[in-house]
Every structure is written in C-alpha cells, then in structure tokens.
Chains A and B, each alone.
Chain A
Amino acid sequence: MADDSSRIGILEQLKRAFAICKKDIRIYYVKGPVLIFGILIPLFLFAAFLIGRAVNSGFLVSSLMSMTIFFSATAVVPTIMPWESQAKTLERLVSSPVSITAIVLGDILASFFFGALFSLVPLGLGLAMGVAVINPGILLAAVLLASFCFSSLAAILSTRPTDVPSNVMMLSTFVKFPLLFISGIFVSIEELPEWGRLIASLSPLTYFTDLARFSIEGTSYYPLPLSIVALTSFALLFFAVAVKLHERNTSKRL
C-alpha cells in the first residue's frame, strides 16, 4: 500500500519549476555576454531601422519591441537541454521528483522573465524619444503573453535529442527569421497583399506586433480580443507541444 501523504501536488510542482527557473537564470542568463546581447541587439536594430528612413516613431517602437522580445525570449531556451545533456546534469535533474512539465516550465519561465525584461529597452528608448504609451495595461498584458508564447516556441525548438547546442541553433534560426519577415514588423499588415495577410495571421508575432501598435498608436488591424485570444492560444499550444515532445525525447538524451 502506497503512502498517500507523499502525493506531490500541482502547487509543489510549480515551486520546483520556479527553482529550475532560478537555476537557469543563475547559470545561463546572468552572464555578461547574454546581458550585453539583450541590450545591444535592440540598440543595433533601432539604429538599423532608423538610418535613412522616415519612420513613424510609434511604428518604430512597436516593431522594435516585437523583434526584441522575440529574439530575447528565444535566445537561450533552445540550448539549455543540449547543454545539460552535454554537461551530464540532465540525468540528475530528471531523476529528481520533478515532472517533465515542471522542468520545461522552469526553462520557459527563465526565458519569459528575460524576454519581458529586455522588451523594456526599446520601450525606454521610445519614451526617451517622446513616444507615449496610450494603453499601458494592454501593452503589459501583450508583453507577458508574448514572452511566454515565444519562450514556449523556443522550448519546442530544443526538443531535438542532441547534446550539441549548435545543432539546435541552426533549426532555431531557420524558424525565427522567416517568422520575423511575415509578421507585420517591417511592413504593416494593412500594406501586405491578401496572401501576405493570410500568412501573417498564422504567426504569433503578428498579434503581439498588432497589440503593441494598438497600445502605442491606438490603432490595430485585428480586433483586440482576437489578438489576445490568438496569442494566448499560441502560448498554450506551444507549451503543450513542448511538454509532449520533451516527455518523448528526454530519455533519448541520456
């Protein structure tokens, strides 16, 4: 007969996920190159966007926030499992009383905080340039949803059972850059042809960009509830798929 007092509840698993989040931040995120990456990349993108172009500043800031949160939230997560597999820390982690769901959630949470934090850099630059945020509550919700959504997407990219991080980065780049160009960042959705708008609607980045534009410029292409529901749905779908794939592939890494 099992000892029922030892059942581990969801709340306890969430605490353990948060412990993994803290461990990831300590090992993978609070590092000079990573922090510099988070600040410099938005700055360079800002400059690249601005030079030789007469760009509406609200459009500029929302586009830059999109690029920053997308790159920041997908930068590190794909490499965590391969690194842990290579460093032989993964089996120690998997043999602990923590579910795969909690391990994946922990990795995602670390990336979520990183992505959300660094999205403030282009926002800060925009505010310094005189851009105003009309709907800060919507922007905050969009940043949080998008950061979780893109972190979960990155978790899917890390499911390949390899212990060589560069293998994962290649796949990650192959997925991320096309998404960047179809998501209304460089050209607004209204200006895209019919087929372009159809493709854009399949990208979660499109909905964050639209929400960011709404928060700053007061206008959007999609109805507000649609963007929020779409972003939330993508986030839940990516999270579920990431957990499922990691449950299947984690033992293959050992």
Chain B
Amino acid sequence: MKNVIDAVNLTKGYGPITAVDRVSFTVESGEFFGFLGPNGAGKTTTIRMLTGVIKPDSGTAYVKGHDIRREAIEAKQVMGILPETANAYVDLTAWQNLMFLGELYGVSRPLRRERAAQLLKELGLYERKDQIVKGFSKGMKQRLLVCMALLSDPRILVLDEPTSGLDVQSARLIKEMLQGLNRKGVTIFITTHNMEEANQLCDRVAIINHGRIAVIDQPEKLRVMSEELQSIEIAFDRPVEIESLAKLPSVVDEKKMGDKVRLYTQDPNGLINQIVDYARGEGLRFTALNMLTPSLEDVFVKLTKK
C-alpha cells in the first residue's frame, strides 16, 4: 500500500464558517509529512477528522484503507495520535497512564509493560514512572503524551503541534525520536508552526489557509519556486535611508532587519550591481553582503498573507 493516508475532499463547517473546505491530500508510507498553517487555518479540525474525533460534513479519509467514517475504530487502531489539546490523567502516575492507554489499544500486558519501560527510558521519564503526573512540568507531560502515542507501536503517527511551547531539551528529544522512527519506516503526519522544524523534518509539506490547501510540495521546491522571495541582505559602515535603497530598479520589496536591510528581487545579479553602484556613489563601505534563498517561512508568509 503506497498511500497510508488519503484525505478526499474533507469539509467541515461550524455555522456560517467553513473551517475546512474540500481538503485533499495523500501521505505515502514512510513519509514525514508536515501540515502548516496560521492559527485558525483549519489544521486541528483537519486532524480531528482524520483521527475520527469529529465527523466531516462531507468527504472522507482513508487510513491504511479504512474509511474513517465507516471504520473509525479500525483506522484509529493503526494510528498513534497526539492531539494538540491533550492531557494525561494528572491523578494517575506516568506508568498508570501508559498501562491504561495500552489497554485501550488492546496491547497485551507483558508487551505494554516492556514498551512502556523502553519508551519512558528513551524520553527520560523512567525514574518518574511512579510519580503522579500532576507534579510533571509541561515538557515532561508532553514527553509522556508522546510515550502514550507510541505505546501501541503504530506504523502511522499523527501529531498536532508536538513541540509547541516546550523547552529546548524536550523539543529536541521529541524531534530526534521522531526522526529515528521515520528512519525505521514509520509514517509521520505532523502539524507545526515552526517553519525551521518543518524544513528540517518534513519530506513534503502542505500549507493550509482559510480552510483550503494553498500548496503541497517538498520544502526545497517551494523555496526554489518563489523567485520573487530571493533577497540580498546588506549592511554598510553607516546608517542608510531604506527608502533610497527601495528605489533601486530591481527591488520588489524591502525590510529593515536590525542593522541590516533585506532587499527582495527577482534578479539578484542585477540588484547586486545596482547596490555596488549606489554604495560607490554614496561613499559607503559594505560590512555585510549576503545572497539569500527564500526560507520556508518566507514562502509560508507569502502564501498565507491576508
């Protein structure tokens, strides 16, 4: 089976607002797929439909061939899920939370004990396994939720903002674990606001805005396609009025970045020549001159700007 997730025209409305509007995408086996979008774009609603938490108004999704509308239990069985707004049971210990999840997924007692111990060790929580979760930090709770998502040894992981708001150590630990799992063939579907994270981790990304898919492609191809988002970053030995640089013929946009100025262009080579001529004419010395390809964040902002 090549596609393990197949979303077909998923649509969901709340009153007059269409939160998700005919969203379709596929995720291949072993792929690390990112789902990006600003707040309110429809990411969480899409994930909730994909994981059978809410029913679509129309359209459907197939997870390893199971229709999420007709075979929701079977679809959920093959996924490890980490919802964005999810908590472990704070009145239970970390171990009890994992045992409970294991029972919900039908994992046998010996296997869930073995996996729970292994996962807690990998995510640095084993010494606290008998501690009530109420005393855990946010990072520890999130790591525990990742353990819970992995307990059934799923071949498909669906994670909604797994590193959001976490300390650097916890975020790194989780990312490294996800990369390790992906190398072993686990399919990972992730939503994130962190462009750098998506750029580092994802084989392909989909950008959603106002409930619709704006683009789906590899991060590098998205960056290359956005010619007008190439830029030259410059700094001189004395401050310069940004308006005078903006008048250069090849400049399409400009931005002040601290002591540097970033000039966007579709003709980087031509713009460099114009900047050199300008600097010579004004008696300026360069302290920085960099040619930049568009970042995924640049592409994202361009595609999702209102």
- Do the two chains belong together in a single complex? yes
Contact of B103 among A19, A27, A92 (CB under 8 A): A19
Give the total number of A-B pairs whose CB atoms are below 8 A apart.
93
**What residue in chain B is nearest A27 (Cβ atoms)?**
B91
Does B214 interact with chain A (Cβ within 8 Å)? no
B89–A23 CB distance below 8 A: yes
Contact of A88 among B51, B86, B91, B103 (CB under 8 A): B86
A6–B74 CB distance below 8 A: yes
**What residue in chain B is nearest A84 (Cβ atoms)?**
B89
Within 8 Å CB of A23, what residues of B?
89, 92, 100
B89–A89 CB distance below 8 A: yes
Inter-chain CA distance A23–B103, complex, in Å, is 11
Q: Which of B45-73 touch A at CB < 8 Å?
A: 48, 51-55, 64-66, 71, 73
Given A1-B65, A2-B74, A97-B76; A19-B85 close (CB under 8 Å): no
Does B101 interact with chain A (Cβ within 8 Å)? yes
Inter-chain CA distance A89–B71, complex, in Å, is 23
Binds B, one of A8-16, A51-59, A70-78, A217-225: A8-16
What is the interface size of chain B, counting residues whose CB is below 8 A from a CB of the partner?
35
A95–B76 CB distance below 8 A: yes
Interface membership of chain B positions 129-154, coded 1 if the CB is closer than 8 angstroms to chain A and 0 otherwise = 00000000000000001001000000
Does A176 interact with chain B (Cβ within 8 Å)? no
B78–A94 CB distance below 8 A: no
Given A2-B66, A16-B104, A96-B101; A91-B86 close (CB under 8 Å): yes
**What residue in chain B is nearest A13 (Cβ atoms)?**
B73
**What residue in chain B is nearest A103 (Cβ atoms)?**
B104
Inter-chain CA distance A8–B1, complex, in Å, is 21
Does B87 interact with chain A (Cβ within 8 Å)? yes
Inter-chain CA distance A95–B154, complex, in Å, is 14
What is the interface size of chain A, counting residues whose CB is below 8 A from a CB of the partner?
30
Does A251 interact with chain B (Cβ within 8 Å)? yes
Does B88 interact with chain A (Cβ within 8 Å)? yes
**What residue in chain A is nearest B1 (Cβ atoms)?**
A1
Given A91-B86, A254-B48; A19-B104 close (CB under 8 Å): yes
Task: Give min CB distance, B68 to chain A, whole Å.
Answer: 11
Within 8 Å CB of A3, what residues of B?
64-66, 78
Does A170 interact with chain B (Cβ within 8 Å)? no
Within 8 Å CB of A47, what residues of B?
none
Q: List 17 A-B contacts (CB under 8 A).
A: A1-B65, A3-B65, A3-B78, A7-B74, A8-B77, A12-B106, A16-B104, A19-B100, A19-B104, A23-B92, A89-B87, A91-B85, A92-B86, A96-B76, A96-B105, A98-B104, A254-B85
Given contacts A15-B106, A93-B104, A251-B54, 17 further A-B contacts (CB under 8 A): A3-B65, A13-B73, A16-B104, A22-B100, A23-B100, A27-B89, A88-B85, A89-B88, A91-B83, A92-B145, A95-B51, A95-B83, A96-B76, A97-B104, A97-B106, A251-B53, A254-B85
Using a CB–CB distance below 8 Å, which chain A residues touch chain B?
A: 1-3, 6-8, 12-13, 15-16, 19-20, 22-23, 26-27, 87-89, 91-99, 251, 254
